[in-house]
Amino acid sequence: MPTAPPPAARPRRLGEHGLAWAFLLPSVVVLVLFVAYPLGRTLYLSAHANDLFGAPSRYVGWKHYADLLASAEFRDTLLTTALFVLFTVVPGVLGALALVLLLENRIRGVRLLRSAFALPFAFSVASASVVFSVFYNPASGVLNGLLSRLHLGPVGWLTDSRYALLSVAAATVWMNLGYNVLVLSAGIGSIPDEITEAARLDGASGLRLARSVTVPLLGPSLFFLVVVSTVNALQSFGQIHVLTRGGPDGATRTLVYSVYQKAFAYGSSDFGTASAQAVVLLVVVLACTALQFGVLERKVHYA
Amino acid sequence: MTATLTGPTAPAPARPARRRRPRPRTLLGRSLVHLLLLGAALTVLFPVYYVFAGAFMRPDEIASYPPALVPHSLTGRNFSGAVHAVPLARQYANSVLVAGAVTAAQLLTSVLAAYAFVFLPVRARRVVFGAFLATLMVPWEAVVVPNYLTLSGWGLGNTYFGLVLPFLASAFGTFLLRQSFRQFPAELRDAARIDGAGHWRFLWRILVPLSRPTLAALAVYVFLSAWNQYFWPLIITRTAEMQTLQIGLSTLRDSEMADPGLILAGVVLSLLPTLALVLFGQRFLVRGLTTGAVR
């Protein structure tokens, strides 16, 4: 990779240092004010009690965390979060993998289909969620309408706590599918033709080719996708807010949604508890990111 | 580490022009593949279809049980209804303004910072750059409470400044452009210097014009992210006049629950810009989105 000459090779004028800082300043100010400082303040708030209006009142140390550990509600929240990750990442990645492998076949209309699978990109989280809320409507929704044609009873997609999390997850899988297909398509595109060609000359085709050649070589892309999808699932907010508001009875209250509820919903300003939960979220996301960098680092040495 | 990251500077991930794809050997294999793909396409595309079909249905049609799948007569009432139920036009303008301002500002701040990292002597460059990268690992949701407190403390709740201020710079844009700038040919840089171009002139007259593809990809990515934002505009705005389109849609859904056609009409209106991007700008979109794949 060609790189710019090292700065030492250039005539260095006094003004260059000043210019460098002038150029960095806008970014540094924004990142310090809205990432670094609030990160510290989240930690600070999580160790302080607050009054009804959210102003920190006194130092309480680990109390918020201890309360969380002892709280059945918070354990539910963690479980819901884990289930939501499971229900979105597994079908999202496997579904995209199946689609990408099918799209690898040279058959008529495959180009058109490729473009078609990109259409959900046009939907934001909010618009996709609003559309699914119309589908899930127990009385007028299309889903129960189709079920009734099969003489199956109406399902409370979002109102029955057995189905609500699955319904939100299904909407999430739909809105992410296009992106997942894109990432895996790019991965398949980077597999050298010679390898596939050689395997085919050896008589591999169809499922055998996919199982023994394509999928193993997609490993890095798949891993990347799993990590990104997991982090995305952990941060999902819009679909829960639009579809269920964390309900029914907390069945779709994930970690992020719980932070929102404690801090902002229904006039609640429990910033202390919200911040402690935000720190838990931070740790979980950091662990996922660290995993990604750790494993990818190894992959680079290996390659 | 850099080798693990892809971006517009890496070879375009778009499908290669003439890759030879296998062709299922047997008729059975071909039909099976066709059938599976068709099923998947119908499932994936049904919501897209239904948004447009439902947006043109009369209330009695869409609410009929079981619901109709095809509109019998195309009615425009849903669209006028949606525009009147929430200040959709105003919220549209808000979204364009906010996403546009965030995009322009992030491009500018990222170009400047990346330039400093590549072409200027920054003391403790590795440490400073490492600190930039570290901010990428912080999930926005973990700092949303203090940011809300900061901006409302400054009296910027429910204002445009409140909506855009936290997003005027990003380590991601800086990182991406740094990767691109580093690959700028040293000979061109030297030639410009010999011709007497200082930093400012080199940056705007040579480097930026030649980095257009990367800048465009970054712009698409930033614009889409800003356009789709939900959490922040939800908490920082209070009045319908200051809300963005995404929040407006959610309000529309809550207030017009009994009139799904109206809700879907609102969705159709909100989709127009991004749909145009998907249909006519797929090349840019793919680049922009794989740009985001770095995160």
Q: Of B242, B278, B271, B280, nearest to B87 (Cα)?
A: B242
**Cα distance between residue B245 and residue B86, in whole Å:** 10
Tokens representing residue A24 in the block: 């960095």
- Answer whether B102 touches A (CB < 8 Å): no
How large is the average pLDDT for residues B289-294? 54
> Residue with structure tokens 């807010």?
A241
- Measure in Å the smallest separation between the Cα of A40 and chain B Cα atoms: 9
Give the rounded distance of the alpha carbon of B4 from its chain centre: 23
- Answer whether B69 touches A (CB < 8 Å): yes
| Mean pLDDT, all residues of chain A | 84
Superfamily assignment of B87-244+272-292 in CATH? MetI-like (1.10.3720.10)
pLDDT of residue B143: 93
Burial A218-231 (b: 16+ CB within 10 A, else e): bebbbbbbbbbbbb
pLDDT of residue A298: 61
- The torsion angle over the Cα atoms of residues A226, A228, A233 and A234, rounded to 10 degrees, is 110
Residue at B128: amino acid letter:
V
pLDDT at A271 over 70: yes
Q: Most A CBs within 10 Å: which of B37, B50, B175, B223, as the mutation test of the A interface?
A: B37
Q: Which residue of B has its CA nearest to A119?
A: B278
Lowest mean pLDDT among A22-26, A33-37, B97-101, B263-267: B263-267
**Cα distance between residue A161 and residue A167, in whole Å:** 10
Q: Please state the φ and ψ torsions of residue B144, each to the nearest 5 degrees.
A: -70, -35
Residues near A218 by Cβ (< 8 Å), separated by ≥ 6?
A: A97, A184, A187, A188, A191
pLDDT at A12 over 60: no
Delineate the domains of chain A, giving CATH numbers in brackets. 14-59 (no CATH), 71-302 (1.10.3720.10)
Quick: pLDDT tens for A75-97. 999 999 999 999 999 999 999 99
Q: Do the Cβ atoms of B40 and A130 come within 8 Å? A: no
pLDDT at B108 over 70: yes
Q: Do the Cβ atoms of A271 and B169 come within 8 Å? A: no
Q: Of A277, A276, A269, A229, nearest to A253 (Cα)?
A: A277
Q: Most A CBs within 10 Å: which of B65, B102, B120, B156, as the mutation test of the A interface?
A: B120
pLDDT at B13 over 70: no
Residues near B229 by Cβ (< 8 Å), separated by ≥ 6?
A: B244, B246
| Mean pLDDT, all residues of chain B | 83
Lowest mean pLDDT among A26-35, A66-75, A216-225, B131-140: A216-225
Tokens representing residue A58 in the block: 């006194």
A22 CB neighbour count, 10 Å cutoff: 13
Q: Do the Cβ atoms of B50 and A131 come within 8 Å? A: yes
Q: Do the Cβ atoms of A263 and B141 come within 8 Å? A: no
pLDDT of residue B10: 36
Q: Which residue of A has its CA nearest to B34?
A: A107
- Answer whether B121 touches A (CB < 8 Å): yes
Q: Do the Cβ atoms of A299 and B15 come within 8 Å? A: no
Beta strands in B79-208 (DSSP E): none
Tokens representing residue B33 in the block: 């593949």
Chain A residues whose CB is inside 8 A of the B190 CB are: 5
Of residues A1, A127, A174, nearest to B271 (C-beta): A127
Quick: pLDDT tens for A203-224. 776 777 777 777 888 888 888 8
pLDDT at B208 over 70: yes
Q: Do the Cβ atoms of B13 and A190 come within 8 Å? A: yes
Chain A residues whose CB is inside 8 A of the B169 CB are: 26-27, 29-31
> Residue with structure tokens 């906010």?
B98
Contact B86, B252 (CB under 8 A): yes
Q: Please state the φ and ψ torsions of residue B159, each to the nearest 5 degrees.
A: -130, 165
Residue B1 binned pLDDT confidence (cut-offs 50, 70, 90): very low
Contact A50, A270 (CB under 8 A): yes
More confident residue, A219 or A252: A252
Q: Where are chain B's structural domains?
A: 87-244+272-292
Q: Which residue of A has its CA nearest to B51?
A: A131
Long-range contacts made by residues A201-209, C-beta under 8 angstroms, separation at least 24? Answer: A205/B22, A205/B25, A206/B22, A206/B24, A206/B25, A206/B29, A209/B22
- Answer whether B18 touches A (CB < 8 Å): no
pLDDT of residue A278: 93
pLDDT of residue A70: 87
Q: Of B174, B184, B185, B186, nearest to B122 (Cα)?
A: B174
Contact A186, B13 (CB under 8 A): yes
pLDDT of residue B11: 36
pTM (predicted TM-score): 0.85
Contact B189, B202 (CB under 8 A): yes
How large is the average pLDDT for residues A267-286? 88
Name residue A48's beta-bridge partners.
A59
Tokens representing residue B205 in the block: 């007259």
Contact B291, B7 (CB under 8 A): yes
Of residues B45, B109, B263, nearest to A27 (C-beta): B109
Name residue A56's beta-bridge partners.
A50
Q: Do the Cβ atoms of B230 and A235 come within 8 Å? A: no
Q: Most B CBs within 10 Å: which of A51, A102, A124, A268, as the mutation test of the B interface?
A: A124
- Measure in Å the smallest separation between the Cα of B139 and chain A Cα atoms: 6
B6 CB neighbour count, 10 Å cutoff: 18
- Answer whether B126 touches A (CB < 8 Å): no
Q: Of B119, B167, B127, B159, nearest to B143 (Cα)?
A: B167
pLDDT of residue A243: 94
The dihedral region occupied by A191, where left means phi > 0, alpha psi between -120 and 50, and beta the remainder, is beta
Q: Of A289, A301, A254, A282, nearest to A78 (Cα)?
A: A254
Lowest mean pLDDT among A121-135, A269-283, B9-23: B9-23
Contact A161, A169 (CB under 8 A): no
How large is the average pLDDT for residues A227-250? 91
- Measure in Å the smallest separation between the Cα of B146 and chain A Cα atoms: 5
Contact B85, B255 (CB under 8 A): yes
Q: Do the Cβ atoms of A37 and B14 come within 8 Å? A: no
HEC profile for B242-276? CCCHHHHHHHHHHHCCCCHHHHHHHHHHHHHHHHH
Q: Cis peptide before B16, with omega less than 30 degrees from 0?
A: no
pLDDT at B93 over 90: yes
More confident residue, A298 or A190: A190
Name residue A50's beta-bridge partners.
A56
pLDDT of residue B285: 67
Question: Which helix (H) or strand (E) segment is A50 a member of?
Answer: strand A48-50
How large is the average pLDDT for residues A253-269? 87
Chain B residues whose CB is inside 8 A of the A256 CB are: 141
pLDDT at B293 over 60: no
Q: Most A CBs within 10 Å: which of B19, B143, B235, as the mutation test of the A interface?
A: B143
Residues near A183 by Cβ (< 8 Å), separated by ≥ 6?
A: A96, A221, A224, A225, A228, B290, B293
**Cα distance between residue A298 and residue A219, in whole Å:** 13
Q: Which residue of A has its CA nearest to B179?
A: A3
Quick: pLDDT tens for B123-175. 888 999 999 988 988 999 999 999 999 999 999 989 999 999 999 999 999 99
